[in-house]
Amino acid sequence: MLALALLAFPAFAASPGVTPTEVTVGTHLDLSGSLARMGIAVRNGLKLGFDEANAKGGLWGRKLTLVIADNGDDADKALAAQKGELSPERIFAVLAPVGTPPVAATMPGFVNAGVLHLFPFTTADETYVPSQPLEFALDLPIQEQVHVGLRALVNSGQRVGVLFGDDAYGHAVLHAVEHELEKRHLRPPIAEPFKTKSLARQIAALRADGVQIVVLGGGGQDALTAMRAVRARRWSPSVLCLEACYVPQVPTLGGRSVTGLYAVATTPIPYPADSDPALRAWVKRYESRFHTVASAEAFRAYLDTRLFAEVLRRAGPNLTRARFARMLEAMPPWRDPVYGGVPVDFTTRDHLGFHTGFLVQARDGRWINFASTQSKR
């Protein structure tokens, strides 16, 4: 069926960034700012994936070339890169850029110039809403993350509370929980702002209101602080955080205080002692190459390159941006044949690829897969 669809496409002139021997892909990452840990991990994952694809001969005789710009988590720096090394006349696609402000600033310019914008590391809705022909996103939105977590944990008799940071992310989590509970015809959540100096008082208020499930609208450090405060009061609610705190440092640094903490994830953290031999081998290759610990962001970026290469393979030798985009839409749900993972599924009407997540729990200094659940499209 896909082959017939491809035959129906008209012939296109070669897209910028494509020559008979090369496909040039660009990305902008934070390599020097507040998100540098993530940006460096994503850079490493992209490099490893492209190097492995090139070692096998590339795709249709073309080598994959990666151009990387440091956006410093700054929109102006990203815009400068868009006018320079990431000029739409030089690249075929933008792959896995990092950071909401830089992505929001540059995405319209890339898309208006006809450049594919693929799999950014941000949960911002504008990366896939409204659906644009060349925009494809993967990150599970905050609303869907909350849905995945509460679907697995909450029942009609439980009281839900939210401990949220007083920032855009914290308020987005609060609104998502409110929406999810309303949709389930459950009582609204008890909400408390996350303030480190008065955290004990906020924890006490949630406990006094009979809260049994606490959703945390914060990142990894917030999770560590909140769990220590909860344990200090000898309280044992179920505490759920989202992907923002799904990092290896939380169970490693938190120890017993974070045991039982839940998080929502879409890409597993690649632990060296993982039971999956393919993942163990990947960790060994990654850490040998970059002399640093592998992370979920690095692995997600690596998987992005494998998806990108698979779409190139299916698109055939007459590569154009439009042909690539239509192939992404036409492919059936895709799971990596070696590493598995959450299925990626795009359609002509829906350019958000992840619609499912899994629940993990902190135990024995690491995250353990707790349960899997499907988020409705």
Q: pLDDT per residue over 27-66, tens digit each?
A: 999 999 989 999 999 999 999 999 999 999 999 999 999 9
List, for residues 83-100, the tens digit of each pLDDT value. 999 999 999 999 999 999
Quick check: 373 pLDDT over 60? no
Pairing state between β 22-29 and 116-118: unpaired
Quick check: 260 pLDDT over 70? yes
Quick check: 2 pLDDT over 50? no
Quick check: 190 pLDDT over 60? yes
Q: What is the average per-residue pLDDT within 274-287?
A: 93
Identify the three-state secondary structure at position 143: helix
Q: What is the average per-residue pLDDT within 194-222?
A: 93
CA distance readout (Å), 164 to 312, 322, 338: 42, 42, 38
Asked if 174 and 217 count as a contact pair (C-beta separation under 8 A), the reply is yes
State residue 6's pLDDT score. 41
Give the confidence band of 9 by pLDDT, cuts at 50, 70, 90.
Answer: very low
Strands in the chain per DSSP E: 18-19, 22-29, 63-70, 93-95, 116-118, 135-136, 160-164, 190-193, 213-217, 238-241, 262-265, 334-336, 340-344, 356-363, 366-374
Asked if 137 and 120 count as a contact pair (C-beta separation under 8 A), the reply is yes
Q: What is the 3-state secondary structure (H, E, C) of 228-284?
A: HHHHHCCCCCEEEECHHHCCCHHHHHHHHHHCCCEEEECCCCCCCCCCCHHHHHHHH
Q: What is the average per-residue pLDDT within 1-11?
A: 42
CA distance readout (Å), 36 to 28, 48, 232, 242: 12, 18, 33, 20
List, for residues 305-350, the tens digit of each pLDDT value. 999 999 999 999 999 999 999 999 999 999 999 999 899 999 999 9
Give the confidence band of 374 by pLDDT, cuts at 50, 70, 90.
Answer: very low
Give the confidence band of 13 by pLDDT, cuts at 50, 70, 90.
Answer: low
Quick check: 72 pLDDT over 90? yes
Give me the amino acid identity at 341: G
State residue 281's pLDDT score. 95
* DSSP-assigned letter for residue 188: P
Q: What is the average per-residue pLDDT within 226-255?
A: 94
Cα distance between residue 347 and residue 331, in whole Å? 8
State residue 148's pLDDT score. 93
Q: What is the average per-residue pLDDT within 232-253?
A: 93
Q: What is the average per-residue pLDDT within 207-234?
A: 95
Mean pLDDT, the chain, whole residue set: 92
**Which of 308, 313, 304, 305 is CA-nearest to residue 59?**
313
* DSSP-assigned letter for residue 353: -
State residue 82's pLDDT score. 97
Longest CA span, the chain: 68
- Between 6 and 189, the more confident residue is 189
List, for residues 144-160, the tens digit of each pLDDT value. 999 999 999 998 789 99
Cα distance between residue 220 and residue 238, in whole Å? 17
% of the chain beyond a pLDDT of 70 = 95
Alpha-helix runs per DSSP H in 8-74? 36-55
Quick check: 1 pLDDT over 60? no
Phi, psi of 272 (to 5 degrees): -60, -30
**Which of 360, 374, 329, 236 is CA-nearest to residue 1?**
329
State residue 371's pLDDT score. 56
Quick check: 4 pLDDT over 50? no
Q: What is the average per-residue pLDDT within 246-272?
A: 93
